Amino acid sequence: MECEVSILIPTFNRGHLIERAIKSSINQSYKCEIIVCDHGSTDNTRKICEKYLNQITYINRVKDYGIHFCELEALLAAQTKYIHFCFDDDWMHNKFIEECIKLMNKDVGLVYSNNIVVDINSRNKIKDDWSFVNKIDSRKLLSIKKVPHVLKGLISPSCALIRKEDAIKCLYNTTNLISDKFYNGVGPDWLMTAMPLFRYKYCGYIKTQLVKFGSHEQSITIDALSSDNLNKRRKYHEAYNAAKIYLIISTLARIIKFEKFYNIFASFLGPLLNLLKSLIYKKIT
């Protein structure tokens, strides 16, 4: 079977967490390319990853360029049509990718599943227990039905399967063209899963909880929202708002065919400017 999906694991100083993410990727029932991208880790992350070099591609950079560029490098290294970001504090049911790919086709922009948030600092030892998954409930939905959901919140890339080409557009463009608001990769992660809902007729939804999110103090989201630092919380929300504005404006421009009107305008403006230049030149000479 040809490999169509890459599981991308961006990481930084998470040696105590990353092995669970790697194992859940390796154990997928659907064959996947697995890429771990490590920017600047100074703990035992490299040692953990090197145990699995016969099963994963490990990208290691001495300098930490931040989560956004770590994600982008992993994405550009992917050799497949579809990608899934498994963040280093998250992990999946072994049939997650298999069930997602079943719903993917040319009219479907993304497939995502429900999730469980797990406190990984709990005194109770975390067990990789998926016994509650007896029957997997999945369906194809009109994307427009999920638009209100993403305008209020987020579909995490860590519980979604999307096209590589769509993810690249979101990570490359980010929101910098219309806003200077940016916070630790927040914003592009929202775009990656929200944009397909605006560009494709359908999405796939797996009601069954097939992904577990690790909750802990070092999580970017937990750190921002639980912090007493109001400036940090403000920057976090502003980064998401910037992404939403960017997507809404670009979508409206596509709907009204702004590019077409601009091209028509430019086709008339060019000759007019040339005429004005020639008249001015003649008058001067």
86: phi then psi, degrees, rounded to nearest 5: -105, 100
Q: For position 121, what pLDDT does the model report?
A: 76
What residues make up the domain containing 69? 5-168+201-219
Q: For position 253, what pLDDT does the model report?
A: 83
Q: For position 221, what pLDDT does the model report?
A: 67
Output the pTM of the full model: 0.85
CA pair distance 161, 100, nearest whole angstrom: 7
Instruction: Tell me, yes or no, whether 279 lies in a domain.
Output: no
Instruction: Tell me, yes or no, whether 58 lies in a domain.
Output: yes
Mean pLDDT confidence for 38-62: 95
Instruction: Tell me, yes or no, whether 69 lies in a domain.
Output: yes
CA pair distance 9, 221, nearest whole angstrom: 17
Among 229, 241, 230, 223, residue whose Cα is nearest residue 184: 223
Q: For position 47, what pLDDT does the model report?
A: 96
pLDDT-wise least confident of 47-56, 132-141, 233-242: 233-242
Domain of residue 121, CATH code: 3.90.550.10
pLDDT per position as a tens digit, 235-283: 777 777 888 888 888 888 888 887 787 777 777 777 776 777 677 766 6
Work out the pLDDT band at 102, boundaries 50, 70, 90: very high
Instruction: Tell me, yes or no, whether 133 lies in a domain.
Output: yes
Q: For position 13, what pLDDT does the model report?
A: 93
Q: Provide the percentage of residues in the chain whose pLDDT is more than 90.
A: 56
Q: For position 225, what pLDDT does the model report?
A: 64
Overall number of domains in the chain: 1
Is it the case that residue 80 has pLDDT exceeding 70?
A: yes
Is it the case that residue 116 has pLDDT exceeding 90?
A: yes
Instruction: Tell me, yes or no, whether 262 lies in a domain.
Output: no
Token pair for residue 249?
């404006």
State the average pLDDT for the chain: 86
Work out the pLDDT band at 123, boundaries 50, 70, 90: low
Instruction: Tell me, yes or no, whether 209 lies in a domain.
Output: yes
Instruction: Tell me, yes or no, whether 250 lies in a domain.
Output: no
Residue bearing tokens 């940016």: 182
Instruction: Tell me, yes or no, whether 151 lies in a domain.
Output: yes
Work out the pLDDT band at 285, boundaries 50, 70, 90: low
Token pair for residue 281?
């030149």
269: phi then psi, degrees, rounded to nearest 5: -65, -40
Q: For position 240, what pLDDT does the model report?
A: 77
Higher pLDDT, 64 or 11: 11
